[in-house]
Amino acid sequence: MFLSGCSDQSDDKNIKQTKKVTEVVVAQWGTEKYLIYLPVYIAQEKGFFEKEGINITIDFSGNDDQVFAKVLRGDAHFGIGDPIFTAVSRQRGADGLVIASIVDRVALWGVSKSDKKITNNSDFSHLRIGTFPSPSTTYTLLEDTLKSKDVIGASIVQIPIGNELALLESGAADLVMLLEPGASIAESKGYNIVTSFPKVWGEFAFTGLTSTESVISKNPTLGIKMITALQSAVDFAHNNSEGAIEVAIKLFPNLDKKIIVNAVTRMLADETIPKSVKVKKENWKKSIEVRQKVGDVPESFYCYECLYKTE
């Protein structure tokens, strides 16, 4: 009995010494899980966050501006959305930071009933193009594209997230910009993928993990831990595509497996899933310059202090 009692006390002591888990709330763009954010979900499913002592709760928060608003209010530690809102916040005296890259290219594919490929700006002429509402990145990129002197008579049709394909089905749009797996779902229904924005725009700071200096200063190692977990996730995806597909199948059980295979394969091939989650200055600069063109960010304001420095 005496030995047993000692053993119990020892076990209790060991339990108290276990690694502390940090509870982290992440505000995510949209109203549900999206396949383009697969690195985040891989980090959850494969225990990469857990390894860093982090437990993630995802809060689906709507459009890009709403995501970062939650971060600024302190309702979330991090945001997953367009990183440009860190720069916008800096102009207003806030302390936004871009911690990591989640999507490193413009992860949108143009879908149409027509099979005519869109290879240059003039091919957008006279098209009604469906996309997410302003001020989303997609809307801003299209707005910038359609301002080209080569584009004549094109227009943007805004529609709430998740309803894009309905525009094609109803005839209200000629072309819609879709994320994955939406593009692969449309393809399975006989629609055609006629343009790839990852190829058109190249590397681009499309979706970032954002936060504030206030959050990071309270827990200086938290940013490093998030980066480490996400880097492990993208390494896993590129080194083990079958494993990445398995995670996606588990997360989206209602989707046909062929659709998931096509979608994940396309994201890896077009490199919307980055090989490194470090935010490159040139990618950030491209994102800023698009917003400068449409007047969301002042000229010559690149906000490099927005980029989280790990050195």
Domain positions in the chain are 22-105+203-306, 109-201
Here the tokens at position 196 are 């790839």
- Measured between alpha carbons, how far is 136 from 221 in angstroms, rounded to an integer? 31
Q: Is the pLDDT of residue 276 over 50?
A: yes
DSSP the chain: -HHHHHHHHHHHHHHHTSPPPEEEEEEESBSS--GGGHHHHHHHHTTHHHHTTEEEEEEE-BSHHHHHHHHHHTS-SEEEE-THHHHHHHHTT--EEEEEEEEEE---EEEESS-----SGGGGTT-EEEEPPTTSHHHHHHHHHHTSTT--S-EEEE--TT-HHHHHHHTS-SEEEE-TTHHHHHHHTT-EEEEEHHHHH-EEEEEEEEEEHHHHHHSTTHHHHHHHHHHHHHHHHHH-HHHHHHHHHHH-TTS-HHHHHHHHHHHHHTT-S-S--SPPHHHHHHHHHHHHHTTSS-TT---GGGB----
Question: Which pLDDT value is given to residue 218?
Answer: 94
What integer is the mean pLDDT of 239-249?
Answer: 98
Average pLDDT, the chain: 90
pTM: 0.86
Q: Is the pLDDT of residue 138 over 90?
A: no
Q: Is the pLDDT of residue 266 over 80?
A: yes
Question: Which pLDDT value is given to residue 14?
Answer: 37
What integer is the mean pLDDT of 59-81?
Answer: 93
What percent of the chain has pLDDT above 90? Answer: 75
Question: Which pLDDT value is given to residue 136?
Answer: 79
Closest CA to 153 of 186, 190, 128: 128
Question: Which pLDDT value is given to residue 48?
Answer: 98
Class for domain 22-105+203-306, per CATH? alpha beta
Q: Is the pLDDT of residue 182 over 90?
A: yes
Question: Which pLDDT value is given to residue 9?
Answer: 42
State whether the Cα torsion 217-219-224-227 is positive or negative.
negative
Q: Is the pLDDT of residue 39 over 70?
A: yes
Q: Is the pLDDT of residue 250 over 50?
A: yes
Confidence of residue 71 (pLDDT cuts 50, 70, 90): very high
Question: Which pLDDT value is given to residue 311?
Answer: 57
What integer is the mean pLDDT of 290-300?
Answer: 85
Question: Which pLDDT value is given to residue 5?
Answer: 41
Same fold, 22-105+203-306 and 109-201: yes
What integer is the mean pLDDT of 208-237?
Answer: 96
* CATH ID of 109-201, from 3.10.129.10, 3.40.50.970, 1.10.10.10, 3.40.190.10: 3.40.190.10
Q: What is the pLDDT of residues 110-131, one digit of tens each?
A: 999 999 999 889 999 999 999 9
Q: Measured between alpha carbons, how far is residue 92 from residues 47, 276, 293, 301 in Å?
A: 37, 30, 19, 13
The residue among 95 and 91 whose pLDDT is bigger is: 95
Alpha-carbon Rg for the chain in angstroms: 21
- Strands of the sheet containing 78-81, edge to edge, are 54-60, 22-28, 78-81, 203-212, 96-105
The residue among 293 and 11 whose pLDDT is bigger is: 293
The residue among 11 and 311 whose pLDDT is bigger is: 311
As a residue count, the chain comes to 311
